[in-house]
Each structure stands twice: as C-alpha cells, then as structure tokens.
Structure 1
Amino acid sequence: MTHLEKAKELRARTDVHFNCCQSVLVTFAQEMGLTEEQAFDLGASFGSGMRCGSVCGALTAALMVLGMTHYPPEEVDSFRRKFLEDHGEINCAALLKKSHEAGIPRKVHCDGLVFEVVQALD
C-alpha cells in the first residue's frame, strides 16, 4: 500500500476519527520508528490547528515527519514556505475560512490538505 492509499484509508474510516495530524503521522509511522498507535497518540492534540485554529495539523505532522527522518532544517523550512505559498495561510482557522468562502466542505478541504502533504513527503 502506498502512503497516499494509507492516508485515504485512514480518512475514510468511520469507526475512529483520524484528525489531519494523525492521518499524516500514522501514514509515516514506520519511517519514524513509531507504531501506528504511538503516532495516533502523538497527533491527538494537534488536530484543528492544535485544537485552537493555529497551525494546520497536516503541516504540523509533516514537519514532525521531516524532523524524525532527519531532514536538514533548511529543507524543513522550504517545505513550510511552499505550503504557505500554495495556500496563503498556515493556520487552520484561516485555511478553513477560505475554503468555506469558496464553498468547499470542511472534510473535502482537510482531506485535500492531508493528501497533498502526504504526496509532498513522498
């Protein structure tokens, strides 16, 4: 199973909710030396922008994955800058507001960001 297929499987589950951060972290758990359960627990408080509309959970998870897989700081900064350039925001509340104004449902918006981040990490 590819990383993208894994992320799509997690986001489609209805028995357990995987927030955006958890969806990315669980997808890359093995590469980080974590179990899926550890990755799920690690990301629990980072959904909905750290539970307060702050930095997007998918982006937060991506930076965690890059850190745990020993990417150089300048490449991590480049990843964050590209996300900002692509979306004009990094904060969950602002990203959700823009998608709402564009008529994009929250789940569709968040799934899209998760899948985009997973593909970029690949």
Structure 2
Amino acid sequence: MNRMEETKALRARTDVHYNCCQSVLVPFCRECGLTEEEAYKLGAHFGMGMKHASTCGAVTSALMVLGMAGRGNEAALELLSQFRSKNQALDCAKLLALAKERGEERKPHCDRMVYDAVEMLEELLAEQA
C-alpha cells in the first residue's frame, strides 16, 4: 500500500478518528523515526487548526515530516506556497469558510486538504532526496 492509499484508508476508518494532522503524519511515521502509535499521539492536538482554527493540521504535520526528514526552510516555504496557491489559505477557519461558500461539506473538504498535503509532501521529499 502506498502512502496515499494508507492515508485514504485512515480517513475512511470509522472505529478510530484520525484528525487531519494524524492522517498525514501516520503514513510518514517511518521517515520521522516514529511508530504509528507515537505519530498518532503526536498529532492528537494539532487537528482543527490546533484546536482553535489556526494552521490546518494537514499543513502542520507536513511541516513536521519535512523537519524530521531533514529538509530545510526552502522545502517548508515551498510546501506552504503550494498549499496556499492551491487552496487559497493555510488556516483551518478560512479553509472551512471557503469550503462552505462552495457548498462542500466538512468531511470531504478535510479529506481533500489531507490528500493535497500528502501529495505535495511526497513530491517535495522525492525532489530533495
């Protein structure tokens, strides 16, 4: 199973909730030197924009992975730029407001944010390996 498939499987689970941060962090846990359980615990309080509609949890975890993978400031800024360009914002509150304007329900919207972050992260890690 590749990372995107693993991410989609996590987002589809109904027995355990994986927030946006955990949904990105868990598939990349090995690159971070973490077990799945440690990654799950680490990301627990970064969902919903750190629980106060700040930076999207998918973005936060992607930055964590880049840091743990030894990638520098350039990779982090590129990730932020790509995510903002594609989604018009980085913060959870604004992203959810934009989704509401489009008539997009929360779960599909958040799934899309997670998938975007995973895709961008995979590309950045491959480019700078």
TM-score (normalised: structure 1): 0.97
Q: Does 1:65 align with 2:65?
A: yes
Match in the other structure for 1:40: 40
In structure 2, give the amino acid aligned to 1:8: K
**Structure-1 separation of matches of 2:40 and 2:69:** 17
Aligned to 2:125: none
**Is the aligned partner of 1:112 residue 2:120?**
no
Q: Which moved more, 1:79-88 or 1:29-38?
A: 79-88
Q: Deviations over 1:8-28 (max 9, x none)?
A: 000000000000000000010
Q: Which runs of 4+ in 1 moved over 6 A?
A: none
Distance 2:37 2:2 in 1: 19
* Alpha-carbon offset, residue 72 of structure 1: 1.7
| RMSD (Å) for aligned C-alpha atoms | 0.7
Aligned residues: 122
How far has the Cα of 1:87 moved from its partner? 1.5
CA distance in 2, matches of 1:11, 1:75: 26
Gaps of 5+ in 2: 123-129
Give me the whole-angstrom Cα distance separating, in 2, the residues matched to 1:116 and 1:88: 13
Question: Equivalent residue for 2:96?
Answer: 96
Q: Deviations over 1:94-114 (max 9, x none)?
A: 100110110101000000111
Task: Tell me the alpha carbon deviations over residues 24-55 of structure 1, each in whole angstroms, 9 at most, x when there is no partner.
Answer: 00010111110000000000000000000000
Matched residues in 2 for 1:82 and 1:119: separation?
11
Distance 1:77 1:5 in 2: 26
TM-score with structure 2 setting the length: 0.92
Residues in 2 aligned to 1:67 and 1:107: alpha-carbon distance in whole angstroms: 28
Q: Distance in 2 between matches of 1:100 and 1:72?
A: 34
Amino acid at match of 2:111: D
TM-fit CA distance, 1:2? 0.2
Partner of 2:15: 15
**Structure 2 residue aligned with 1:54:** 54
